[in-house]
Amino acid sequence: MPLPTLMEIEELYELPGEAVFPESIGLDARTGDAYVGSLTDGTLYRLPAGTGRAEVWSPGGADGRCSVAGVKVDARGRLWAAGGYDGTLRVLDLADARTLACRDVGARPSCVNDIAFGRDGDAYVTDSFVPTLFRVDAETLDLSPWVDLAEQGIPWGEGLNLNGIVLAADGRHLVACQTNLGRLWRIGLATARVEEIALEGGPIVHCDGLVLRGTTLMAAINARGVIAVVALAEDASSGRLVGELTSEAFAFPTALAVSGGTLLVVNAQLDRMATGRPRLPFTVVAVAAPEG
């Protein structure tokens, strides 16, 4: 495998607060603004494009929101916020931060973790503790179980299982990573069939948030503090680990977003959550994105 690539920092966003522990990031493709959520109290932050700053967009506790894991923004101007251990999923209007829907997966323990959208706008939601992939109708915002992952052959173990999820380049498959085993899985949107992605150079244990640029898949490897770069087939049937991105600014990275030629990396510092002694401030770091 090639030597890790040391990335130069282009910009550093500082999140206000002493116990933020940000877990994910969503990008509004219409404006370039990014949104980040706090795992500890549910605060949602906005990183306005081109400003180099971060601001509170919706405070923790609003509409009962006490934790935010995955954050994504859809083409209709709605922010989707996974509730983590709370077992919920919320959808908010970006125009006024009004909550449009709050859904519960109906299982405990739960860790509603990440979200991806199909081309029709429907959302697909992972729960790292529940062996079910959920689907949310884009129109009604109704949430329902879609795929029984254990029945489809995913070995469900202790710790965090399915986590980051993205739409493959062909638009016909989803790609999800399994944190505890470092395996990648492909789910057919038309068939609901689950297959393991043949990953040369894998597994990539501790994989977390994913982002896809063309056919270049990037995965935050949280406990190792690096970003894995995978050359993925267009239909996501296979992939090859081609490198790693490193930076002294990475601190237990858990989520990624690409804006133009920039890769945004969320420094969650979840390894410091138990001690309550994070390195302040909490940050999102911007580096150059690998070519897709």
Q: What is the pLDDT of residues 197-253, one digit of tens each?
A: 999 999 999 999 999 999 999 999 999 999 999 999 999 999 999 999 999 999 999
Give the whole-number percent of the chain exceeding pLDDT 90: 96
Query: Does the pLDDT at position 291 exceed 90?
Result: no
Q: Find the mean pLDDT for residues 27-37.
A: 97
Residue-level pLDDT at 292: 60
Place of tokens 């043949």: 198
Residue-level pLDDT at 217: 98
Residue-level pLDDT at 4: 78
Mean residue pLDDT of the chain comes to 96
Reported as a single tens digit per residue, the pLDDT across 244-275 is 999 999 999 999 999 999 999 999 999 999 99
Q: For residue 199, what is the domain's CATH number? A: 2.120.10.30
Q: Which domain holds residue 170?
A: 5-288
Q: Find the mean pLDDT for residues 37-46.
A: 98
Residue-level pLDDT at 227: 98
Q: Report the number of distinct structural domains present in the chain.
A: 1
Q: Find the mean pLDDT for residues 113-132.
A: 98
Reported as a single tens digit per residue, the pLDDT across 51-107 is 889 999 999 999 999 999 999 999 999 999 999 999 999 999 999 999 999 999 999
Residue-level pLDDT at 131: 98
